[in-house]
């Protein structure tokens, strides 16, 4: 049997003819699991040496092969014998290879070659992406939901995914399966948007050359609900094949952001039917309401909510617009450390050095001073109250003590964070410091007047 691949120009007709012949078999052969795995391996041309299984997907298997000429290992995606019986599946496999092969972007793994052996077993080779998925990273115990490390890293990763998706959209290609499991993270900061098997080409304005004849299997096939229900936009979950556009992918990105923020999917459910029903209704809990134990900065919650709006017209118009808001969040320094205090525990103490300011996100505190050995009550503070800012900006000792009355959670703003946010030499910083100094002068005058009145 010849091991030479089929000539590329005639690849698709040959594959479709092979699929038709397989479909017509009255008694297709049965394979054991071991034989099935072997049946997916093409008669590789001498250019490649098989080195073992890498992964599996809906249409077949991915194996590691050695490109003998270049001495590099590549991933070979192979269409399974079962999938090769369906002409539409063969067409989609070929379209995936051709589409990704033309999306030349640093965050989209390149396709190197497409071929088929003499028996019609189709394959294409692409870059091996080593690392872990974002799904796996988000479940790391050292990155719990609400932690500043998780939020900062997750948003930084999504800005890179935005770049890849914006490029694909500029070429007239939708991904349609945005989820954390399809985002790969390399060891040296690489971010790859994977698995373009469900990509939709926007015919009529696409800038990729992936022709499809009017009588092709996919042209005659009405596509229903495709993708992953837990991340789907309502129009996608409802099978609106003709109505989806770039904003459908934007919803998917928002759903991944939701997972970064909350640690859960937008549509949790007991079974696939329940999840899909919730996706069709766009029935998800706003991210800041998912858990009282997870602090969600309002700015990033608003980004997720806009990306996941029920009506496409209410979402970001472009992926670039979404990326801009993600960058604004990162540059705003709003991923702050959370600290909890028990009732009676003191957060700051009068006379201590001032190294940070605080924002209360949950609970209540009491502010007091010690005058002539007696505790003098000043005020009670609750959520969204800020304290300690005057002392930390003026670099003077604390002028009062703040004590937790109930269980309290605060965000800590260190002097470094404040300087980074304001800019040490910017006019905003000078203005704030001037206001703080005047406030301290006024406070000193009031104290002097109180002493004189005694």
Boundary-marking domain end, from 292, 307, 331:
331
In a domain, 323, yes or no: yes
In a domain, 399, yes or no: yes
- Chunked in runs of 10, what are the mean pLDDT values of the chain (454 residues)? 43 51 40 40 73 80 89 89 74 87 94 80 88 94 86 95 96 94 94 92 80 56 71 90 88 97 92 92 93 80 96 96 92 71 94 85 92 89 85 76 94 69 50 54 62 65
Same domain, 272 and 350: no
Boundary-marking domain end, from 103, 126, 149:
126
pLDDT at 393: 67
In a domain, 118, yes or no: yes
Boundary-marking domain end, from 273, 299, 331:
331
* Domain that residue 176 falls in: 132-204+223-331
Cut 0.85: pTM above it: no
How many domains does one find in the chain? 3
Query: Which residue do the tokens 């070929």 mark?
Result: 94
In a domain, 2, yes or no: no
Same domain, 162 and 103: no
Same domain, 316 and 191: yes
Give the active site residue among 117, 163, 177, 249. Answer: 177
User: Whole-angstrom Cα distance, residue 269 to residue 283?
Assistant: 11
pLDDT at 282: 95
Same domain, 386 and 415: yes
Catalytic (active site) residue 372: no
pLDDT at 387: 87
pLDDT at 38: 40
């Amino acid at each position: 049997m010849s091991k030479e691949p089929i000539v590329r120009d005639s690849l698709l007709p040959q594959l479709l003819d092979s699929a038709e012949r397989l479909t017509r078999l009255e008694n297709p052969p049965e394979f054991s699991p071991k034989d099935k795995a072997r049946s997916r391996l093409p008669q590789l041309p001498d250019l490649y040496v098989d080195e073992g299984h890498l992964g599996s997907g809906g249409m077949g298997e991915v194996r590691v092969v050695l490109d003998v000429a270049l001495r590099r290992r590549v991933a070979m995606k192979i269409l399974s014998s079962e999938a090769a019986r369906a002409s539409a599946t063969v067409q989609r496999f070929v379209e995936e290879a051709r589409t990704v092969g033309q999306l030349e972007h640093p965050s989209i793994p390149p396709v190197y070659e497409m071929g088929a052996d003499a028996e019609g077993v189709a394959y294409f080779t692409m870059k091996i992406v080593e690392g872990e998925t974002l799904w796996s990273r988000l479940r790391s115990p050292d990155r719990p939901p609400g932690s500043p490390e998780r939020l900062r890293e997750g948003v930084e990763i999504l800005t890179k995914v935005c770049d890849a998706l914006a490029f694909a959209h500029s070429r007239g290609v939708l991904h349609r399966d945005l989820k954390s499991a399809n985002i790969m993270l390399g060891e040296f900061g690489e971010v790859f948007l994977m698995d373009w098997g469900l990509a939709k080409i926007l015919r009529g304005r696409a800038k990729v050359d992936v022709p499809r004849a009017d009588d092709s299997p996919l042209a005659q096939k009405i596509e229903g609900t495709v993708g992953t229900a837990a991340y789907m936009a309502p129009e996608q979950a409802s099978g609106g094949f003709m109505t989806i556009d770039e904003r459908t992918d934007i919803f998917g990105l928002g759903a991944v952001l939701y997972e970064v923020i909350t640690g859960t999917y937008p549509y949790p459910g007991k079974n696939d039917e329940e999840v899909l029903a919730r996706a069709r209704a766009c029935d998800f809990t706003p991210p800041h309401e998912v858990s009282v134990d997870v602090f969600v900065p309002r700015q990033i919650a608003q980004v997720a909510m806009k990306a996941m709006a029920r009506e496409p017209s209410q979402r970001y118009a472009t992926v670039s617009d979404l990326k801009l808001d993600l960058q604004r969040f990162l540059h705003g320094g709003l991923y702050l450390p959370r600290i909890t205090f028990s009732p009676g525990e003191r957060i700051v103490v009068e006379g201590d050095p001032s190294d940070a300011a605080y924002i209360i996100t949950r609970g209540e505190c009491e502010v007091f001073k010690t005058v002539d050995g007696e505790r003098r009550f000043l005020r009670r503070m609750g959520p969204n109250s800020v304290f300690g800012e005057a002392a930390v900006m003026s670099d003077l000792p604390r002028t009062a003590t703040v004590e937790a009355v109930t269980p309290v959670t605060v965000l800590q703003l260190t002097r470094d964070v404040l300087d980074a946010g304001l800019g040490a030499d910017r006019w905003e910083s000078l203005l704030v410091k001037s206001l703080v100094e005047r406030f301290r002068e006024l406070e000193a005058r009031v104290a002097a007047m109180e002493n004189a009145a005694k």
